[in-house]
Structure 1
Amino acid sequence: MGTVRDDDRVRRLGGWLLAGLTLVLFGTVPLSLSGGVMSRPNVVSPGPDWWAGLIVACFALSGAALIQLRPGNWIGWILVASGLLQVTNVALDAYATRALTDPDHSLPLGLAAAWFASWTWIPSLLLPVIVLPPLYPTGRPASIFWSWHLRVALVGIGLIVLAAATGQGGVDDTVRGTRLPWDAPAWWAWIVGLSAAGLLISTAAVTMVGTLVRAIRAKSPERQQLLWLLSVVAAMMATVFTDYRVLFAVAYGLVPVAVTIGVLRYRLLGIEVALRRTLLYVPLTLLVALVIGGLTTALARLVPEGPLPLLAASAVVAVLVIPVAARLRPLVDRLVLGDRADPLALVDRVGAGLEVEHDDPVASMLEAVASAVGTSYAVVRDLHGRLVAEVGSSEGAGLDVPLRHRGAQLGTLTVGPRRGATQVTEQDARLVTALAPHLAVVFRSARLAEELAVERTRVTAATLAERDRLRRDLHDGLGPSLAGIALGLQAAGTAHRTRPDAVPDLLERTRAEAELAVGEIRRVLDGLRPTSLDLHGLEGAVRDTASSLGMGQPGGLAFDLQTDALPLLSPRVEEAAFRIVAESLTNVARHSAASHCTVRLNRSNGDLRVRVFDDGCGLAAGVGSGHGLDSMRQRAADIGGEVCVELAKPRGTLVTAVLPLEAP
């Protein structure tokens, strides 16, 4: 780690030193040209313009700033190298002009300076145009194809520099009559020059077309970065062929600044807005210029005088521009914004995910929402703050959107900014708000599915337990009784033939056995699991029982049920708790003369605690048992629990049952 930091520190220092050297070299130009050097005989160049310093400063300072913030990105070094080569050309050309025209020839290396100045400008222009775009914005080639493309481009640049450096070329562009001490053969210039031209033209075309294709295929934010680069390069190219050299200087000087902005902060200064307007209005401007120029030229031959050609061309433009702009605007928005250009299409695409089955629908839908918004981070939490689903990793300031369904809040959706941004934009916030209801539906459906699965498990367990109990009761109780009746009837039939006087006794014992069987059947029926438990669970069954006793009804006894989040109860515990509460509520309704009754169900120390208390007259003196109270105690004891009945304070009765959550 220490070595990497040291290397980065050296790179940063090197970048600023090169930028400082560039500015110092440009500062030598006024010294070289002082004293009227440009007015000396044989000097044919008007000299460097002031805007050359603007270009040099933009390249040097932008490159050094990029190296400072991204030491491992080669783009910063390309910008610094381009600025250094440009200033080398300008500074050496100025020095060569003074040295070669000085009457006493006191300055050395004038011819060498003119030779260097004759070719150093070439790589300074070609590096940003051909080499930089394949490396933009990460500083690395996007694929193996671009790696080989860069090698070919560098070979082409090297050949064109070699051709310029070995020929007489532009060595006499500033001082007439300047010649190198050698003459390259004609075939050399043709072979090297044509090879270099072929390589440079082909690589330049591939760079421009390939960068445009990359921009079309790329996703945000790389698409915006590439389109930003293409826009500033197009603006520079559009000013190359104009007579306004200052305009070209400004456009060319903005290239390194725009490249640095695109690498570091592609959203800075509303780049997307500038891109959309540039790509929309530049073609429209060219269209207007071509139409007006072409029509006025053609109509001027028919009507040489008068304003008719211009008026006719203006009318055609007015009719043509609006429909062209209407068709061009969606294309530009689609190119710059990608899928975000049509938010309704994103909503439809995310909504289509509702029709597909997933193992985890919330996580799958959250991933679809994150993909549609282009966010780097998205998470869903329930009302208690528990994590439900998560996509990506957090970076930057997030946006919280509540998830609501049918008026109830289910949880919160939190989304982070797009990759490379520091906060969620207003457009993305509106898109997330539009997609949140779809996610809320999936969230609610998943919760209902989980609740249904838990309820199905509970009902199935209760049904199986009830079936086992019925089997035991019928086998152990009713079965022997019916068998005894059958044997009694058989004995009575035999006695009828052999001992008629014994028949009445046998029939009497059989009748008694039948009454026992009827009693056993009633016991079995009384012990059946209440249907309301299977339909509504413990809480719903208690409410139904209270309602059936008139509690909680207008003009009746007030009723309040307080319950915590209970775990899944075993069928025996659930039924015992319900029977105890039902018996207690019946006693309250019949004997207490109370005005209010409260039932509390909560979990305490691994037990289910049931409390029923009222504000009635309380227990009568000496009343501590009865069939109902004994039944409650027996039900609790059967599963290892206990029931306590006592006077409540300040008045009324309190029934407390402590039941183990796991019945033995």
Structure 2
Amino acid sequence: MRKVFEPVAIAVICLAAVAASLWLDLATTGAERAAASTEQATTTAVPGLLLAVAAVVVLVHRPGDAVGRLLGVVACWWTLDGTLYGWVPFSLARDLPGTDLGYWFVARMGAFLLSGLVLLLLLYPTGRLLGGRWRTVAMVVACASLALPVMLLLAPDPVVFSAGEPVGSTELVDLPVSDATAATALRVAQLLTFGSVIGAVAMVWVRHRHADARERTQLKWLLWAGIMCVLVVLAGATLSVGGTVTTVLLGLAVAALAVSVSVGLLRPGLGDVDALVAWTLTTAAVAGVVVVVDLAVLAAGTTLLGEQLDERDVTLVVLVLAVVVYSPLRTWLGGLVRRALLGRRGDRYGAVSALAARLETTGTVDEQLPALAGAFAETFKVGHVRVEVVAPDGGVLSASHGTAPVEVQEIDIAYQGERVGRLVLPAQGFRSMLSQRDQGLLVDLVRQAAVAVRARLLATELQESRERLVLGREDDRRRIRRDLHDGLGPALGGVALRLQAAGNAIDDDPDRARELVALARTEIGEALDDVRRLVHDLRPPALDDLGLEAAVRQQADRVRPEVDVEVEAEGTTGLPAAVEVAAYRIVAESLTNVVRHAGASRARVRLLAGTSALEVEVADDGRGIGPGVTAGVGLLSLRERAEELGGRCEVVCPASGGTTVRAVLPYGAARDETGRVPVPGRTIP
């Protein structure tokens, strides 16, 4: 029952007060209000009704919420103040009782609304003061906010109403001090109360520093409301207007506060509050500069042309200047201010083309990374950007622009689904608040940066791979030449000499001839072993003798005492020789790694040949590869063997454990639109 009572009571009280204010305004003439030095009461009460709506919404969804209750109290107080403000001229003109009471409440109790604002800042959004050492500071700020309201209750009428005596006496007590002393105390109380507002804002900043992600989002909604209130105050002071315009501005400020508090408490993730804050600040800055220029142009036009032309001519000249000169000037000026505040994020095409031009003038990845960091910093006007890229060997290359802040946000850089690096930006500051449009631009820039970095990495990796292939080929040639020249050549030469000696001794010493022939036979056997070794290094004979599947099973049998290996193969007959060799070498190297490093008990080898590519998979149940382990020569050789054929090879550690090596070895000309090797019709599960 209590859950329903509070919002209903607030709604009834505030609606009744606003209705009473409206009735009093209708029943009171302008002359009666002028006699009492008052204005319409409804305009005073309506902002309180806006706060009442926020309080009711919050208490309906969060019964008993301290911030909602505080909003309700402030709303009731505000609307009651408006009602009594309307009662003063009505009762004074008709000589009704309660005039002094109404005037006393309006003159001396209205300052408590400022104390309510301070308490709102101290309690939002949790409904509790900050804990620890900051609780004492918060309590001091709360007490300071009561200095002015309390002093207004005690000060004599001549001090409170320095511009003139009130309609009736409003003094609550008769202080035993002089008016001068009371005036000094009132000024001190004003300083304390206004200073408490600054202290409450500082406490909001402290709360933001210690808050979690959700609470920070809630505080950003309050920040937006505070910005709107400041802008309204500045607009009112700049325009120097009163009456209806002031009422509208006050209503806008209170409406912003009511909406932001309600959304922040109930649904902080409803909208992009960061973008809203950034847009508000940017728009305010642009509007401020434009207003200043407007006033300067108006003053200059009045000074130069006001006395020479009549009103019609001045109007015509101003219209022509506005269309031909000033409208483009103001558009350019607005763009200049936005670029100074937020960078080039508003010019999507320009930002992308500028990044492309900058990347085009740089060479290696080491040169591209600083260029990328500078481009992102210039585009989004942030003080710090760090770009990190994963190198082919598993290491990380990075470059920074500016000084790193305390808190940062990270954005992955991906290329075709593969993470190739990350982008680090500041997490705080309105320039770091990215709207949906800004996020779209960031995605475009990151995508272009990913393509450029990936292309440069691939080019570098390709060059290094080619160098390794050339060096490896020359090493193989040197080794084969050495083996033929130093091993097989002398061996065959020795055999020839022994056979010649045996031929010479066959008639005179047959036993010696038979001995020499036996030695020659032994040397020929050793030479044949060398030939087989050379042939095996060029292409495993098992592939020709047994075929790919049987050769792989033979490899599995060799490691089976240490690891239980299961081999599955399908469609592996009739494959090109290069594909067979690459698959055989990948399986052999993978099984060797399983025995040496994985500590596995079981492994599975699967070969699946499709219409244009052979898929090879070697999976084990071992310990996997740690995230900090860099790729060794063996893992790099696996990838190089696949890339030699235009394929790809990856080594992953699935969540279920172990290590899985997957390779795709194409043997057809088919490629998809991305240039990647298509996956066969059936994939390995």
Structure 1 distance, partners of 2:14, 2:419, is 55
C-alpha contact 1:123 1:161 (8 A) present in aligned 2: yes
C-alpha contact 2:388 2:398 (8 A) present in aligned 1: no
Deviations 1:534-589 (A, max 9, x none): 9xx99xx99xxxxxxxxxxxxxxx97669998893226999xxxxxxxxxxxxxxx
C-alpha contact 1:40 1:101 (8 A) present in aligned 2: yes
Q: Give runs of aligned pairs for residues 381-420 of structure 1, distance below 5 A.
A: none
Structure 2 distance, partners of 1:249, 1:598, is 76
Deviations 1:171-222 (A, max 9, x none): 999972334364333144223222133345666689999999x99xxx9988
Which shifted more, 426-435 or 248-257? 426-435
Counterpart position of 2:626: none
Structure 2 distance, partners of 1:88, 1:153, is 26
1:186 aligns with 2:204: no
Partner of residue 233 from structure 1, selected from 213, 230, 234 = 230
Which shifted more, 154-163 or 444-453? 444-453
Identity of aligned residues (%): 17
Q: Which runs of 5+ in 1 are unaligned?
A: 1-8, 366-370, 393-417, 472-476, 543-557, 575-596, 607-664
- The verdict on how the C-alpha distance between 1:533 and 1:274 changes in structure 2, with shifts beyond 3 A counting, is farther
C-alpha contact 2:111 2:149 (8 A) present in aligned 1: yes
Counterpart position of 1:286: 292
1:159 aligns with 2:147: yes
Q: Give runs of aligned pairs for residues 343-354 of structure 1, distance below 5 A.
A: 344=351, 351-352=372-373
Structure 1 distance, partners of 2:228, 2:313, is 36
SS at match of 2:80: helix
Structure 2 distance, partners of 1:327, 1:210, is 37
- The verdict on how the C-alpha distance between 1:601 and 1:92 changes in structure 2, with shifts beyond 3 A counting, is closer
Structure 1 distance, partners of 2:99, 2:259, is 40
Counterpart position of 1:653: none
- The verdict on how the C-alpha distance between 1:351 and 1:29 changes in structure 2, with shifts beyond 3 A counting, is closer
Structure 2 distance, partners of 1:232, 1:14, is 28
Structure 1 distance, partners of 2:34, 2:315, is 49
Counterpart position of 1:55: 47
Counterpart position of 1:431: 442
Q: Which amino acid aligns with 1:509?
A: E
Structure 2 distance, partners of 1:58, 1:513, is 112
Alpha-carbon offset, residue 510 of structure 1: 1.7
SS at match of 1:124: helix
Counterpart position of 2:568: none
Which shifted more, 19-28 or 302-311? 302-311
- C-alpha root-mean-square deviation of aligned residues, in Å? 7.0
Which shifted more, 515-524 or 158-167? 515-524
Counterpart position of 1:22: 14
1:296 aligns with 2:288: no
Counterpart position of 1:583: none
Structure 1 distance, partners of 2:301, 2:21, is 49
- The verdict on how the C-alpha distance between 1:17 and 1:460 changes in structure 2, with shifts beyond 3 A counting, is farther
SS at match of 1:178: coil
Structure 2 distance, partners of 1:175, 1:34, is 24
Structure 1 distance, partners of 2:63, 2:8, is 12
C-alpha contact 2:138 2:203 (8 A) present in aligned 1: no
Structure 1 distance, partners of 2:33, 2:203, is 49
Alpha-carbon offset, residue 432 of structure 1: 0.8
Q: Which amino acid aligns with 2:13?
A: L
SS at match of 2:146: helix
- The verdict on how the C-alpha distance between 1:456 and 1:312 changes in structure 2, with shifts beyond 3 A counting, is closer
- The verdict on how the C-alpha distance between 1:573 and 1:311 changes in structure 2, with shifts beyond 3 A counting, is closer
SS at match of 2:167: coil
- The verdict on how the C-alpha distance between 1:115 and 1:134 changes in structure 2, with shifts beyond 3 A counting, is same
Counterpart position of 1:44: 36
SS at match of 1:568: helix
Counterpart position of 1:89: 81
Structure 2 distance, partners of 1:458, 1:71, is 73
Structure 1 distance, partners of 2:106, 2:137, is 28
C-alpha contact 1:92 1:117 (8 A) present in aligned 2: yes
C-alpha contact 1:59 1:256 (8 A) present in aligned 2: yes
SS at match of 2:440: helix
Which shifted more, 307-316 or 225-234? 307-316
Counterpart position of 2:380: none
SS at match of 1:177: coil
Q: Which amino acid aligns with 2:167?
A: R
Q: Give runs of aligned pairs for residues 519-530 of structure 1, distance below 5 A.
A: 519-529=525-535
Deviations 1:11-46 (A, max 9, x none): 897466435433333334457788769987996144
- The verdict on how the C-alpha distance between 1:71 and 1:146 changes in structure 2, with shifts beyond 3 A counting, is farther
- The verdict on how the C-alpha distance between 1:455 and 1:176 changes in structure 2, with shifts beyond 3 A counting, is same
Deviations 1:511-552 (A, max 9, x none): 442244134313421332556669xx99xx99xxxxxxxxxx
- The verdict on how the C-alpha distance between 1:604 and 1:82 changes in structure 2, with shifts beyond 3 A counting, is closer
C-alpha contact 1:92 1:116 (8 A) present in aligned 2: yes
Q: Give runs of aligned pairs for residues 329-368 of structure 1, distance below 5 A.
A: 329-333=335-339, 335=341, 337=342, 340-341=345-346, 344=351, 351-352=372-373
- The verdict on how the C-alpha distance between 1:360 and 1:342 changes in structure 2, with shifts beyond 3 A counting, is farther
When Rg is computed on C-alpha atoms for both structures, the one with the higher figure is 1
C-alpha contact 1:566 1:603 (8 A) present in aligned 2: no
Structure 1 distance, partners of 2:174, 2:244, is 37
SS at match of 1:90: helix
Q: Which runs of 5+ in 2 are unaligned?
A: 359-369, 374-385, 400-404, 425-430, 549-572, 593-610, 621-685
